[in-house]
Amino acid sequence: MTATSNVDLVLVIDTSASMRPCIDGLRTHLRDLLKPMQGYVANVRFGLVGLSASMSNGEILYVPATLAGGRESIEHLYATPNQYKFFTEDPDEIIKRLDELTISGDEDNLVALDLAMDHPFGPSDTHKRVIALFSDEKLENGVQRNGLLGTISQVVEKLHARRIKLFCAMPYSDAAQQLAEANGSEIEDIGNAAGLARSEEH
């Protein structure tokens, strides 16, 4: 088998209000991590999903952010993704977008993960596909609370079908254990928000 020389890495950032104590530390950590990655062992394309949510009149309102923009970029993602810039090879560009993320509301990390899985990754035979999720909250928490936990098996199946490896830095929980069943996945238990700011990707 030919070694994969290309990596598509989508960062998934919980942008809920609870991230305020650690978001600056996480940004610094990622800034130090991303720049040396480019060209070190592979050609890297970086993508980004930031997501927060809130309830209004019984409906969930999402505030997404991708490299291609805000709320309007989600329509592009599911209509004509190859016509918009969901990936960049420039680490400075992804770092700039990280610095622009707005922190507010609640989280919905399973929905954010699903958006990341739907990014226009390169072909799996030439690109290693990776998603890295960062959150200070357990998967059981968030705007829907336990509402989406029954879909974790579907998330695992989707990761397998799309040949995506998953890394998560978040508090460990029963739901995280289910997510860890995905082939090649890794869950780093950060304990709390302070731990997230100094988490290390393996």
Per-residue pLDDT at 201: 42
Is residue 201 within 8 Å of 178, Cβ to Cβ? no
CA distance 47 to 27: 15
pLDDT greater than 70 at residue 193: no
pLDDT digits (tens, 9 = 90+) for 60-105: 999 999 999 999 999 999 999 989 999 999 999 999 999 999 999 9
What does the angle CA 122 – CA 166 – CA 152 come to, to the nearest 5 degrees?
110
pTM tops 0.85, yes or no: yes
pLDDT greater than 80 at residue 200: no
Per-residue pLDDT, averaged over 30-37, amounts to: 88
CA distance 93 to 79: 24
CA distance 91 to 113: 21
pLDDT digits (tens, 9 = 90+) for 132-172: 999 999 988 888 766 667 789 999 999 999 999 999 999 99
Is residue 69 within 8 Å of 51, Cβ to Cβ? no
Cα–Cα separations (whole angstroms), residue 121 to 12, 51, 86, 154, 197 = 15, 20, 9, 19, 27
Pairing relation of β-strands 164-170 and 186-189? parallel
